[in-house]
Amino acid sequence: MLTHLNAQGEATMVDVTDKAVSERSARAESEVSMSPEAFRLLIQGQNKKGDVLATARIAGIQAAKRTAELIPLCHPLALTKVQVDFELDAARNCVKVFSFCRLAGRTGVEMEALTAASVASLTIYDMCKAVDPAITIRHTCLAEKRGGKLGHWQRPDGMEKSEALAQLEEHW
């Protein structure tokens, strides 16, 4: 059953009033591949637009906090934690993007985690596109969620967690 449709098949925001407040978290990931030259400039901090990863981290965090403004039927959420991390894969000239969101609430934070990873990836593209307009963003997906009706769910084929996000799991 699709929860965002009413009896007439019209789009509707799900009513979560009667749901219990519980701790919920989600982790998402994405991958940004680029040319060896663009990757070299990124890792050496020589990109003309500035610090690519610092800017992408802030953009991802900001995006998670504004997800309800971007995705029409999402609830505005009071996030208690948003983290965006990166791993550099020099063998493949790519940046792996990892996001994590958490709150105590009545609805999950999957969309916030996915939005954080997506916008961080788009920011990397934006800052590096002058060197390589063929940058590719792929494998954006929900990697893991906790809380709610389904409890704990983890994507079986997800990328390895960043070290910082793995350390966060100790607190889950």
Which residues are within 8 A (CB) of 138 and not within 5 positions of it... i.e. 6 or more apart? 30, 31, 33
Q: How far is C-alpha 93 from the geometric centre of its chain's CA atoms? A: 20
Radius of gyration of the chain (CA): 17
Q: How far is CA 121 from CA 11, 166, 168, 171, in A?
A: 29, 20, 21, 26
20's torsion region: left (phi>0), alpha (psi -120 to 50) or beta?
Answer: beta
Written as six digits, the tokens of 145 are 């969620």
Catalytic: which of 15, 126, 132, 157? 126
In whole angstroms, give the CA distance from residue 136 to residue 8. Answer: 40
Residue 126 falls in the annotated catalytic set = yes
Residue type, 42: L
Query: CA separation (Å) from 22 to 48, 71, 106, 133?
Result: 44, 23, 7, 43
Kindly list the catalytic residues.
126
